[in-house]
Copies of this chain bind each other. A is one copy, B any other.
Amino acid sequence: MSISRNPTTGIGSHRVQPISSLDDYDRASPAVDCVLITIVDGSLAVLIHRRSQNPFAGKWALPGVFVHFGESYERAAERALRDKGGVARRCYKEQLEARNEPNRDPRGWVVTVAYLLLARQELIIENIRSAGDAELAFIESVSGHDLTDAARIVVGSSRTAVELAFDHDELVRSGIRRLQAQIWYTALSLEFVPEAFTLRDLQAVFEAILGVTLNRASFRRHVLEVVRLVEPTGETQTNVGHRPAALYKRGSEFGSAQS
């Protein structure tokens, strides 16, 4: 044990770190927040949970946790989903942005990294029931606005609009923006459909994310011929009351899923 080198500090020490010259610098508590996006009945939804503690106790927020020393951001994000969202499944992850929030938490200096996570509804629903304070909230576009510059988050069957704690509303929009920017030339859309799916299913995913309706013929051309995102499995639907659609799977050029 040793004394901090900074004379203004008084006694200094830290739980995990070795005593070192880093004591000359301010320390912060690293945290992660999760924007888990899914698609429910053709519209976007995000996983939120009701905070039990201050700040913002009782308010809806994105699931988030403080990062432990030695734990990667990704692992921390998974833990946040498990502990705060009741979701135990692995899913696609990508970093959104880091924020430095000296005033976020009255308890001290918190620096957060937000993650975008994608999963199909079925993988979330089966888990979420166990966590009473978690919910899949719909993301509705405010009329006349794009989803990415104004979005309403509505909960329950009454669909009452809520405001998320911190700047989490903005993080959700930022996640949607990222999704929209990447969807045409990546395989992100496949995170929302099962192994085998129809092109109609996939088009519905694109339409939910982009908030527009797409031309059927050119959508087919795009995913089949232009980017070759998908290829036929050879199977078709059965018993659907009309001509059955062919089933498709991830194109071989697009590796497989998750991260």
CA A67 to CA B14, docked complex, whole Å: 18
Task: Give the CA-CA distance A120 to B227 in the complex, in Å.
Answer: 36
Within 8 A of B (CB), among A82-113: 95, 97-98, 100, 102, 105-111, 113
Contact between A30 and B111, CB atoms less than 8 A apart: yes
Task: Across the interface, name the chain B residue whose C-beta is closest to A21.
Answer: B107
Chain B contacts for A244, CB-based, 8 A = none
**Interface: A238 (CB within 8 A):** no
Given contacts A69-B109, A98-B73, contact A16 B11 (CB under 8 A): no
Binary B-proximity of A10-37 (CB < 8 A = 1, otherwise 0): 1111111110111101111110000000
Q: Which residue of B12, B15, B70, B102 is within 8 Å of A6 (Cβ)?
A: B15
Chain B hits for A102, CB < 8 A: 69-70
Query: What residue in chain B is nearest A94 (Cβ atoms)?
Result: B97
In angstroms, how far is the closest chain B Cβ from the Cβ of A65? 9
A66: chain B residues at CB < 8 Å are 22, 25-26
Per the bound structure, the CA–CA distance linking A68 and B26 in Å amounts to: 6
Contact of A9 among B15, B95, B105 (CB under 8 A): B15
User: B residues within 8 A CB of A13?
Assistant: 9-13
CA distance in complex: A9, B19 (Å): 12
Q: Which of A66, A98, A107, A110 has the most CB of B within 10 A?
A: A98
Most chain B CB neighbours (cut-off 10 Å) among A11, A16, A27: A27
Residues in B whose Cβ lies below 8 Å from that of A108: 14, 17-18, 20, 22
Contact of A8 with B by CB under 8 A: yes
List residues of chain B with CB within 8 A of the CB of A71: 100
In the complex, the answer to whether B1 meets A14 with C-beta atoms within 8 Å is no
Question: Min CB distance, A72 to chain B, in Å?
Answer: 6
A4 within 8 A of B: yes
Contact yes or no, B25 A28, CB < 8 A: no
Contact of A27 among B10, B29, B97, B105 (CB under 8 A): B29
Q: Are B15 and A4 in contact (CB under 8 A)?
A: yes
- Residues in B neighbouring A69, C-beta threshold 8 A: 26, 28, 102, 109
- Given A12-B15, A13-B13, A28-B111, output 16 extra A-B contacts at Cβ < 8 Å: A6-B15, A11-B13, A14-B14, A14-B26, A15-B26, A16-B109, A18-B108, A20-B106, A22-B66, A22-B108, A26-B68, A28-B67, A69-B102, A71-B100, A95-B98, A111-B111
